[in-house]
Amino acid sequence: MIIVLISFSCSQFSFPWPGVCTNEKAKLALVRFLCGMMRFVWIVTLFVHLFSNTGYNTVLRHSVADRKVNSIFLSTIMATSVAIPAAVGIFVVKIDWSVFDAHVLLLYSASITLTVLFHICNSKALEYTEASIFSFLYNFRIGIATLLGIWLLSESIIPLKLIGGAFVFISGFILMGRSSTQPIGVLFSLLCAVLISLMNAIEKYLIPLIGFSTFMFPSTIIIAGLMWIILIAGKYPIDKSFIKSGELKVLMVFRAVSAYAFTFSFSLGALLSVATYISSLNCVTTPIAGIIFLKEKDKLAKKAAAGLISLIGVTLILLASTSGP
């Protein structure tokens, strides 16, 4: 995987040959070098997201399934963790409110609604589903993201990407029929896949249009406010002992880093499909974390097979991206 990433980044670099370069060639080489470095940076940013995503889903599974913390309360905590940096940033960075015309407001409102639903479905899914199984079902977003990227964002159609996506789908189906997986858990996991794909498509469109800060800061504050309204109005229990625990702090840090790293990668030029594929490596990292920290050791052979197939699919996607625009 490291070799693939290095080849991906280096394939973007181009230098003029000594003795034959002109000023124009040198400028062109510099531009290509900087573009290559930018791609390398957003890859690193996405792997930071991957690590954090694995961490928060593992902690979330433990909190909701083992400690029996209310899922709506946990959803509110996750939304709050993303809103805290925004509450500071909104006073530091200038927000361009003039960009919010009718078109942008419509998409912005849709993004907020989808994110609220995602937080709730994420907690509900992990209440009924092992973290490792959730990671495979969650990766059905791969096919959805590819179609959205091609249809809505005019991303290139590369056959190798589609083949890689098919491998990830297959890895999910391998574990789909497990008797120990509750249908309601499968439903919430698949809803998460649909919601995150739609969210990412809107993010990829809006962030270059209105800017990262203008998109991220107001929306996360609104989302956290809506989650607290749902929590209080619904009279869901607030676990005071959990609030005082170190587990809450770890969950909040992982959730915030995961959200900001993924979204910020779009402002660096990340492709929606490739960003989603790198994020989908959680089908490898999350089962490993589940085995180590959550003792999810049943059906290890089937999980390993599904993980390997999914890893092959993700690797094919990264290889395909080297020939992309």
pLDDT of residue 95: 93
| 19 belongs to a structural domain | no
| 260 belongs to a structural domain | yes
Contact assessment for residue 35 and residue 58, using Cβ atoms and an 8 Å cutoff: no
| 40 belongs to a structural domain | no
| 17 belongs to a structural domain | no
Domain total of the chain? 1
| 31 belongs to a structural domain | no
pLDDT tens string 266-293: 888 887 667 877 887 888 899 889 989 8
pLDDT tens string 212-262: 999 999 999 999 999 999 999 999 999 999 999 999 999 999 999 999 998
| 270 belongs to a structural domain | yes
| 162 belongs to a structural domain | yes
| 231 belongs to a structural domain | yes
Domain span holding position 316: 45-321
Overall pTM > 0.85 = no
Among 36-40, 59-63, 78-82, 166-170, which is the least confidently predicted range? 36-40
Q: What is the rounded distance in angstroms from the CA atom of residue 189 to the CA atom of residue 76? A: 18
Mean pLDDT across the chain: 83
pLDDT tens string 135-178: 888 888 777 776 766 776 676 777 887 787 788 778 777 766 55
pLDDT of residue 8: 45
> Mean of the pLDDT values across residues 107-113?
97
